[in-house]
Structure 1
Amino acid sequence: MTTPIPQPPAIPFFGNVTEIDAELPSRSLTLLARQYGEIFALNLLGKSIVGVSSVKLAQEVLDDKRFHKAIGAPLAEVRNLVSDGLFTAYHGETNWGIAHRILMPVFSPLSTKGMFDDMFEVISQLVLKWERFGPEHEIDPTDDFTRLAFETIALCTFNYRLNTFYTEGEPPFVKAMSDFLKECFLRSRRPTIVQALSYGANAKYAADMDIMNDLANKIVKDRKDHPSDKKDLLNAMLFGKDPQTGMTRTERGEYQGAAADVPDCWTRNNVWNAVFCDDACNEEPGAVLRESLRVTPSIGQFTVTPHKDEVIGDGKYLIKKGTVVMVLAGDVGQDPAVWGEDADKFNPDRMLDGKFEALPPKAWIPFGNGARACIGRPFAWQEALITIATIFQKFDFKPSDESYTLQLKQMLTMKPKDFRFHAIPRKGAPSFSVAAASSQATNGPIPGKEVVDGELNGTPLYVFYGSNTGSCEGFAQSIASEAAGKGYRATIGTLNSIVGNIPKDGPVVILTASFEGVVTQGQFLGVASNYLGSLRKGDRVQMSVRPSSKGFHPPTSPEVPMVLFAAGSGLAPFRGFIQERAMQKQGGREVGKCVLFFGCRNPDEDFLYGSEELGEWEGLGVVDVRPAFSRAAEKSEGQKYVQDRVWNDREVVREYFNKGAKFYTCGGSNVATGIRDACVRIIAEGKDDATEERLQEIWNKLQAERYATDVFG
Structure 2
Amino acid sequence: MAGDGLFTARTSELNWKLAHKILMPAFGPQAIRDMFPAMMDILSQLILRWERFAGEEIDVCDNLTRLTLDTIALCSFNYRFNSFYQKTMHRFVDAMVNVLVESGRRTGRFSLQNTLMVSTARRYNDDIAYMHNLCDEIVKERRKHPNDINDLLNRMINGKDSETGYQLSDENIRYQMVTFLVAGHETTSGLLSFTMYYLLKNPHALQKAQAEVDQYNEITVDTLSKLKYIDAVLKETLRLQPTAPIFVLESIEDDINLPGGYEVHKSDIIIVLLSQLHRDPKVWDRPEEFLPERMLNGGFENLPSNSWKPFGNGQRGCIGRPFAWQESLLAIALILKHFNIDFVDSSYDLRIKQTLTIKPEGFKIRVQPRRRAEFSLHTNMKQSEKISEKQTKQQTDRNHLRPMSILFGSNSGSCESFAETLASEAPLYGYNATVATLDSAVRSLSNDRPIIIITASYEGKPCENAKQFVAYLESKPKLEINYAVFGAGHHDWVNTYQKIPIYIDQMIENAGGTRIIERGIGDSAGDFYGAFEVWKENLFRILRKDTNDQNVISEEKLSIEIVNTKRNLGQITDFGIILQNKILIEANDIGPTVRHVEIKLPKGQTYRTGDYLAILPTNPIEIVYRVLKRFNLSADTHIKILSSTDTFFPTNYPVSAFDILSGYVELAQPISKKQIETLAKLCKNEKEQMNLRNLGGDVYENEILTKRISILDILELYPSCELLFSQYLRMLPSLRIRQYSISSSPLWNSEVVTLTFDILNTPALSGIGQYYGVASNYLSNLKEGNQISCTVRASNVTFHPPEDTKIPIVMIAAGTGIAPFRGFIQERAAQLVCGREIGPTILYYGCRLEEDFLYANEFDRWSKLGAVQIKTVFSRQGINGKKYVQDLIWEDRDEMAKLYCNGARFYTCGSAQKLGASVKTCFIKIIAEIKQCNEEEAVKILEEISVNRFSVDVFA
Normalised to the residue count of structure 1, the TM-score between the two structures is: 0.69
Distance 2:835 2:369 in 1: 55
Q: How does 1:97-246 map to 2 (within 5 A)?
A: 97-131=17-51, 133-135=52-54, 138-242=57-161, 246=165
Give the conservation status (yes or no) of the 8 Å contact 1:336–1:556.
no
Matched, 1:289 2:234: yes
Distance 2:827 2:784 in 1: 34
Give the conservation status (yes or no) of the 8 Å contact 2:845–2:870.
yes
Residue type at the aligned position of 1:286: D
Matching residue of 2:841: 594
Give the conservation status (yes or no) of the 8 Å contact 1:309–1:318.
no
Matching residue of 1:649: 892
Matched, 1:266 2:509: no
The higher relative CO (CA closer than 8 Å, separation ≥ 6) is in: 1
1:552 to 787, 795, 799: 799
Give the conservation status (yes or no) of the 8 Å contact 2:132–2:174.
yes
Encode CA deviations 1:293-313: one digit per residue, 9 max, x unaligned: 333332233333434566666
Give the conservation status (yes or no) of the 8 Å contact 1:118–1:155.
yes
Distance 1:425 1:624 in 2: 54
Matched, 1:672 2:592: no
Alpha-carbon offset, residue 377 of structure 1: 0.8
CA distance 1:422–1:624, shift in 2 (3 Å):
closer
Distance 2:822 2:866 in 1: 15
Matched, 1:565 2:805: no
Alpha-carbon offset, residue 609 of structure 1: 3.7
Alpha-carbon offset, residue 642 of structure 1: 0.9
Distance 1:311 1:706 in 2: 42
Residue type at the aligned position of 1:121: D
Alpha-carbon offset, residue 548 of structure 1: 1.9
SS in 1 for 2:853: coil
Alpha-carbon offset, residue 575 of structure 1: 2.4
Matching residue of 1:532: 779
Matching residue of 2:826: 579
Distance 1:534 1:143 in 2: 41
1:706 to 949, 952, 955: 949
Aligned pair count reads 537
2:311 to 364, 367, 379: 367
Distance 1:423 1:392 in 2: 10
Encode CA deviations 1:675-709: one digit per residue, 9 max, x unaligned: 2222222233476x532322223322332342111
Distance 1:426 1:666 in 2: 41
CA distance 1:565–1:380, shift in 2 (3 Å):
same
Matching residue of 2:590: 522
Distance 1:652 1:254 in 2: 69
Matching residue of 1:461: none
Give the conservation status (yes or no) of the 8 Å contact 2:847–2:874.
yes
Q: How does 1:241-260 map to 2 (within 5 A)?
A: 241-242=160-161, 246-260=165-179
Matching residue of 1:64: none
Matched, 1:618 2:863: yes
CA distance 1:125–1:662, shift in 2 (3 Å):
closer
Distance 2:49 2:855 in 1: 59
Q: How does 1:675-694 map to 2 (within 5 A)?
A: 675-685=919-929, 690-694=933-937
Normalised to the residue count of structure 2, the TM-score between the two structures is: 0.52
Matching residue of 1:432: none
Alpha-carbon offset, residue 168 of structure 1: 4.2
Q: Percent identity?
A: 41
CA distance 1:665–1:156, shift in 2 (3 Å):
same
Give the conservation status (yes or no) of the 8 Å contact 1:593–1:621.
no
Give the conservation status (yes or no) of the 8 Å contact 2:6–2:19.
yes
Distance 1:547 1:150 in 2: 33
Distance 2:335 2:789 in 1: 38
Give the conservation status (yes or no) of the 8 Å contact 2:348–2:794.
no
Give the conservation status (yes or no) of the 8 Å contact 1:101–1:243.
no
Where structure 2 has 5 or more consecutive residues not aligned to the other structure, the ranges are 201-205, 213-228, 374-586, 594-757, 760-774
Between 1:205-214 and 1:100-109, the stretch displaced more is 100-109
1:627 to 856, 872, 877: 872
Where structure 1 has 5 or more consecutive residues not aligned to the other structure, the ranges are 1-80, 430-518
Matched, 1:304 2:245: no
Residue type at the aligned position of 1:317: Y
Distance 1:351 1:395 in 2: 25
Matching residue of 1:606: 852
Residue type at the aligned position of 1:668: S
Give the conservation status (yes or no) of the 8 Å contact 2:254–2:264.
yes
Residue type at the aligned position of 2:591: Q
Alpha-carbon offset, residue 200 of structure 1: 1.3
SS in 2 for 1:700: helix
Alpha-carbon offset, residue 420 of structure 1: 3.9
SS in 2 for 1:590: coil
CA distance 1:703–1:420, shift in 2 (3 Å):
closer
Residue type at the aligned position of 1:625: I
Residue type at the aligned position of 2:195: V
Alpha-carbon offset, residue 396 of structure 1: 3.9
Residue type at the aligned position of 1:524: P
Alpha-carbon offset, residue 112 of structure 1: 0.7
Matching residue of 2:351: 407
Give the conservation status (yes or no) of the 8 Å contact 2:258–2:264.
no
Give the conservation status (yes or no) of the 8 Å contact 2:877–2:883.
yes
SS in 1 for 2:842: strand
CA distance 1:616–1:296, shift in 2 (3 Å):
same
Task: Provide the alpha-carbon RMSD of the alignment.
Answer: 3.0
Distance 1:686 1:121 in 2: 63
Matching residue of 2:732: none
Distance 1:304 1:311 in 2: 14
Matching residue of 1:326: 271
CA distance 1:616–1:250, shift in 2 (3 Å):
same
Matching residue of 1:355: 299
Residue type at the aligned position of 2:592: F
Encode CA deviations 1:380-432: one digit per residue, 9 max, x unaligned: 11112222333433344455555544433221122333444455444389xxx
Give the conservation status (yes or no) of the 8 Å contact 2:848–2:876.
yes
Q: How does 1:65-80 map to 2 (within 5 A)?
A: none
CA distance 1:574–1:319, shift in 2 (3 Å):
farther
Give the conservation status (yes or no) of the 8 Å contact 1:102–1:240.
yes
CA distance 1:703–1:191, shift in 2 (3 Å):
same
CA distance 1:668–1:306, shift in 2 (3 Å):
farther
Distance 2:906 2:148 in 1: 68
Between 1:234-243 and 1:397-406, the stretch displaced more is 397-406
Residue type at the aligned position of 1:522: I
Residue type at the aligned position of 2:19: A
Residue type at the aligned position of 1:413: T
Alpha-carbon offset, residue 115 of structure 1: 1.4
Distance 1:410 1:693 in 2: 52
Residue type at the aligned position of 1:653: M
Give the conservation status (yes or no) of the 8 Å contact 2:897–2:930.
no
